[in-house]
């Protein structure tokens, strides 16, 4: 199909997939992009905010979206091996969309990208290295960091220690710590950040563990409870948050705040 944009205009990849009808749900759109199932000009796109311009080509499964300049006057007739069909023309006038991303979602994405870019620039300038251990964010922090070209100069690696077994076996969290305090605790996240720093031998390390929901919350640890730890050289700092919102918002707010904390302390 063809999707029409005014000359000089652009559209974000996640918006294009929604507006073109390839996918209807934003959570599903984020997932398929994150999993590398969408191609832009034959290259895998893993950032949902990739800018798509006229003359770009986007592929997802059976969807082949050709972005064109200006707007045709009427639908085009095309011939296939079976029969003549009518091309449905999609226009890039986003003001006419019936469904748009919520402003809060866009603001949160923009803030994450802003702080991540500032951290990227700072680490490059200071020639410092960093690593992460993630539980509730499931790799989101590392995904954002590695979306910037040149991140290999400072990002040594990370571990998604989602299960208790991964925390114990990969980054040396003491099983007794989890038994006594739980995996969502100051004590656990402290051992996570110290363990991952030892694995990668970096100047800076960050770790997160929490309950993103919608299930798993308790009276003492409701959904949205998140512990963040940052280790700079040998100095460890701990932070506890109670975030509101759905699962995706809790994960994104965790991502945003670890970037903010690191920036404020280096």
pLDDT at residue 68 in the model: 86
Please tell me the predicted confidence (pLDDT) of residue 5.
81
User: Over 60: is that where the pLDDT of 88 sits?
Assistant: no
**More confident: 214 or 105:** 214
- Helix, strand, coil share of the chain (percent; to 5): 40, 25, 35
Annotated domain spans of the chain = 2-96, 103-265
145 contacts 156 by C-beta, under 8 angstroms: no
CATH 3.30.530.20 assigned to 2-96? no
Confidence bin at 105 (pLDDT 50/70/90)? low
Question: pLDDT tens for residues 33-80?
Answer: 888 899 999 888 888 888 889 889 999 988 889 888 865 444 444 444
Taking each helix axis from N to C end, the angle separating 103-126 and 247-265, rounded to the nearest 10 degrees, works out to 30
Output the average pLDDT for the chain.
87
Q: How far is CA 134 from the centre of its chain?
A: 13
Compute the average pLDDT of residues 256-260.
Answer: 97
pLDDT the model gives residue 2: 78
Say whether pLDDT at 257 is over 70.
yes
Report yes or no on whether pTM surpasses 0.85.
no
pLDDT in tens, 110-163: 899 999 999 999 999 999 999 999 999 999 999 999 999 999 999 999 999 999
Q: For residue 169, what pLDDT is reported? A: 98
Q: How far is CA 8 from CA 4, 11, 19, 69, in A?
A: 12, 11, 19, 8
Instruction: Give the pLDDT band (50/70/90) at residue 86.
Output: very low
Both tokens assigned to 139: 């790799």
Residue 103 has a pLDDT of 59
From 2.40.40.20, 3.40.50.450, 3.90.950.20, 3.40.640.10, which CATH number describes the 103-265 domain? Answer: 3.90.950.20
């Amino acid at each position: 199909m063809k999707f029409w944009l005014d000359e000089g205009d652009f559209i974000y990849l996640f918006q294009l997939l929604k507006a073109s009808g390839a996918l209807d749900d934003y959570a599903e759109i984020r997932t398929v992009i994150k999993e590398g199932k969408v191609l832009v000009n034959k290259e895998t796109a893993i950032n949902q905010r990739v800018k798509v311009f006229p003359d770009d080509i986007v592929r997802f499964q059976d969807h082949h979206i050709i972005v064109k300049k200006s707007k045709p006057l009427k639908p085009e007739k095309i011939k296939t091996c079976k029969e003549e069909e009518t091309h449905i023309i999609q226009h890039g006038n986003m003001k006419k969309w019936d469904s748009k991303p919520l402003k809060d979602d866009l603001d949160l994405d923009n803030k994450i990208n802003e702080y991540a870019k500032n951290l990227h620039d700072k680490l490059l300038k200071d020639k410092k290295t960093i690593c992460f251990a993630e539980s509730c964010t499931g790799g989101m922090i590392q995904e954002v960091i590695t979306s910037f070209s040149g991140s290999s100069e400072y990002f040594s690696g990370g571990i998604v220690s989602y299960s208790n077994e991964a925390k114990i076996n990969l980054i040396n969290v003491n099983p007794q710590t989890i038994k006594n305090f739980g995996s969502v605790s100051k004590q656990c996240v402290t051992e996570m950040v110290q363990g991952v720093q030892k694995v990668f031998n970096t100047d800076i390390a960050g770790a997160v563990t929490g309950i993103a929901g919608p299930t798993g919350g308790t009276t003492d640890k409701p959904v949205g409870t998140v512990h963040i730890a940052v280790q700079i050289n040998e100095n460890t700092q701990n932070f506890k948050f109670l975030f509101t919102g759905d699962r995706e918002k809790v994960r994104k707010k965790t991502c945003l705040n670890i970037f903010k904390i690191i920036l404020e302390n280096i």
